[in-house]
Amino acid sequence: MRGFDILEYEERVARAQKLMEKNNMEMLLITSPQNFRYFTGLDSYFWESSTRPWFLLLSISNEPIAVIPSIGKNALQNTWIKNILTWQSPNPKDEGISLLQDTILSIKKNKCLIGCEIGKESFLRIFINDFHKLNNSLPNHSFVDGSNLIWELRMIKSNNEIAKIKKIISIASKAFDQLPNFMKIGQTEIQIANIMKKNMLELGSDHTLYMSCASGPGGYNQIICDPTEKKLSNGDILAIDTGSTFDGYFCDFDRNFGFGKVSNSAVTAYEILWEAGEKGMQMCKPGNTCADISNAMSKILYNSSPNVNSIGRMGHGIGLQVTEPPSIMRNDNTTLQENMIIAIEPCLEYAPNTMIVHEENILITKEGFQRLTSRTPKNIPIIN
């Protein structure tokens, strides 16, 4: 089914309320699209319009209250949210701030803490001047960082969330496995990426919001940009990294393909990365930390190259966003827990400005991990 049963959302709110109480927060103010969807189930890309802010207030003892522009009322009424307040928008002089203020005061007039998305990997989707106005108009209320609370909820996936993430990963895996049948030397990056996108849609994906593509002799020098009109030639390695969705949930992994005769150094680097990824996955079990995984992969990579990588981390969480906490890096001591979904992403810069990246998606299980992606081949696939 699309979306979730009401019980799923009720459980999310109930867990949030327990954490709010534990952190002495009376309210939690939600403004960003992914968090709004997490608690309400609203499926919309209307967020791409930055004209209108949307607000959701969670409180310890009340049902959620949405304070939204009137254009969204009918859509939100199709979700489980019952308390919906609206204002006519666009209204640059008052984009819902007075209504939000009154709603906060109706919940609690006395001094209290209101958690906001102002910390780790979070952002406020509210005009800064309006946030200052709201803050100044409520002198008895303190707006504090609620991001750790939110991520504590979202890092651990429910069984229903896991099913959706498994679905999109299986779609992308199948598309990657089929892609060599449609590639040849002389095609452009754009042509190949479009083949991949089209096949994923036919296999059942909803959106491909992120598909980076890079190629060059023996590797590439970046992994974040869109495909170009560059034609693949003998000796090139092409990487495609897709962040595609099913019912709002992302996959995020890549595959590499060699064209014609690939250099021995590139082949060796690819094989080293495969071993590093294997070691990283073996370290994935409840109780180990993200730093443990990073250090295990780094040990293999440092033995082959002093450069290793310049991208700062070698993996991350995935879910409603293509990257989420935690980060697989040596200074992230987050402890792995059952039902986290993690991207394991070792990178090796084996020559100046020449790197190769491998990426797999895994589920942390009670006793270890389950790989969700079809494993990248141990030997680089060659396209002639």
Residue 246 token pair: 């099913």
How far is the C-alpha of 170 from the C-alpha of 279, rounded, in Å?
23
Ramachandran category for residue 367: left, alpha or beta (phi over 0 → left; psi -120 to 50 → alpha): alpha
Cα-based distances in Å from 324 to 62, 198, 249: 29, 26, 12
Q: Which CATH code fits 159-383? A: 3.90.230.10
83: Cβ–Cβ under 8 A, 6 or more apart, which residues?
63, 64, 65, 66
CA atoms within 13 A of residue 176's CA, in its CB half-sphere:
29
pLDDT tens digit sequence for 266-298: 999 999 999 999 999 999 999 999 999 999 999
**Domain ranges across the chain:** 6-154, 159-383
Does the domain at residues 6-154 carry the CATH identifier 3.40.350.10?
yes
What was the pLDDT predicted at 302? 86
How far is the C-alpha of 176 from the C-alpha of 326, rounded, in Å?
26
pLDDT tens digit sequence for 49-106: 999 999 999 999 999 999 999 999 999 999 999 999 999 999 999 999 999 999 999 9
Q: Closest Cα partner for 376 from 283, 255, 196?
A: 255
Using pLDDT thresholds of 50, 70 and 90, give the confidence band for residue 305. low
* DSSP assignment letter at 110: S
100 by Cβ neighbours in 10 Å (0-12 / 13-18 / 19+) ranks as buried
Contact 249, 161 (CB under 8 A): yes
Secondary structure class of 89 (helix, strand, coil):
coil
